[in-house]
Structure 1
Amino acid sequence: MKAIHFLVFFVLLALASSFASAFDPSPLQDFCVAIDDTNLNVLVNGKFCKNPKYVTADDFFYRGLNIPRPTNNPVGSNVTAVNVDQIPGLNTLGISVVRIDYAPNGGQNPPHTHPRATEILFVQEGTLYVGFVTSNPNNTLFSKILNPGDVFVFPIGLIHFQVNIGKINAVAFAGLSSQNPGVITIANAVFGSNPPINPFALSRAFQLDLNVVKDLQAKFGSNK
């Protein structure tokens, strides 16, 4: 059964790549393996191309996405990203993947956005409550309870989340339509920015007591 789940997941990952051309640069050659040496070759949207003569199979390889990650942190989850920083050969290919481990009874991937990617999520183990919220003015919530084998899509740029509502660990995999989708965790960005946003402004924006805002800033600021 797990083999079938992995097959379904990687089919979905391949489909996710079809979204990529509108967001990441389209390749003009077979590959452009990323390197950080700024003295060589041509800049491609933040990454340089490795000389093809020195490219190896390891530039397209990553090992370990089958390994569970610890979830003993404040949110009860762990995201293992495999993007262009882990696989240099993803440069210009417009696709990446993540594994998400969730602790039982409320472990969550808290509300966040991916500014450069649509996400397609596949649940391998456990039961997740997931959803996304549309933009202003409606702010409509689309949510679903997912079980093993289920798939859900989060449109590019929209706030979304996943919560483990089961009593056992949960595991999900996601394909994203960018080599470097980015992530903005809402609470961390708002209350943990560096330097901090003026607490009076946040107090007015969220209709919270000023001291509550300062407490939140202290909490999220200390986690940065």
Structure 2
Amino acid sequence: MDPKIVTGDEFFFSGLNKPGNITSPVGSKLTQVFVDEMPGLNTLGTSLVRIDYAPNGGLNPPHVHPRASEILLVMEGTLYSGFIASNSKDPNIRNKLFAKTLYPGDVYVFPRGLIHFQMNVGESNAVAFAIFSSQNPGIITLANFLFGSWPPIDTGVLARGFQLDNNIVNDLQSHLWVQN
């Protein structure tokens, strides 16, 4: 950015103190502070997100960040959180789930590119902050991308890949997949 025309606004974001609307179908809301929301992050290699979760099952669905590792800090509530190790020839670690129940003040790390999730297992709202090792970590929410792509992925590809009946895939593709 040209320092002659930059103002302090490029280095400022307001609103992470405000709860997000958790009435989405998955019961969570992400408030992103990536380089698009805060241009001052450009070249700094960091960004963050506030995640609000509804009680009893509010979910940040299985997703991947292709360009960043993530550190999750729980501020309120109780989250069941985990990630899945990548494919391996070793049957002892192939697709191994690493999961933990987290409480306020707990921190959990998700390595770059691994599928991970968080779910509120408490009876009250939960709040967490995620810090990323990239100004633009990317978010690929698996169900949205696979069953909500446009144009749709061929039913046969998904049915065979997930070992599902074609009718189930057609039903999943008919859903309105929304980002939280």
Q: Is the 8 A contact 1:133 1:141 kept in 2?
A: yes
Which has the larger share of helix? 1
Quick one: percent identity of the two aligned structures? 64
Q: Distance in 2 between matches of 1:188 and 1:73?
A: 14
**Unaligned stretches of 5+ in structure 1?**
1-49
Deviation of residue 83 (structure 1)?
0.9
Q: Report the secondary structure of 1:54's partner residue.
A: coil
Answer yes or no: is 1:121 the counterpart of 2:77.
no
Q: 1:96 aligns with which of 42, 47, 55?
A: 47
Q: Taking CA–CA contacts closer than 8 Å with sequence separation of 6 or more, which of the two structures ends up with the larger relative contact order? A: 2
**Unaligned stretches of 5+ in structure 2?**
89-93
Answer yes or no: is 1:108 the counterpart of 2:108.
no
Deviations 1:50-103 (A, max 9, x none): 321111211101111000011001100000000101111111111001000000
User: 2:36 matched to which residue of 1?
Assistant: 85
Q: How many residues align?
A: 174
Tell which structure's C-alpha radius of gyration is larger. Answer: 1
Q: Distance in 1 between matches of 2:166 and 2:14?
A: 47
**What TM-score do the two structures reach when normalised by structure 1?**
0.76
Q: Is the 8 A contact 1:126 1:166 kept in 2?
A: yes
User: 2:134 matched to which residue of 1?
Assistant: 178
Answer yes or no: is 1:142 the counterpart of 2:98.
yes
**What TM-score do the two structures reach when normalised by structure 2?**
0.94
User: 1:209 matched to which residue of 2?
Assistant: 165
List 4+ stretches of structure 1 deviating above 2 A. none
Q: Is the 8 A contact 1:187 1:220 kept in 2?
A: no
Q: Which amino acid aligns with 2:115?
A: I
User: 2:109 matched to which residue of 1?
Assistant: 153
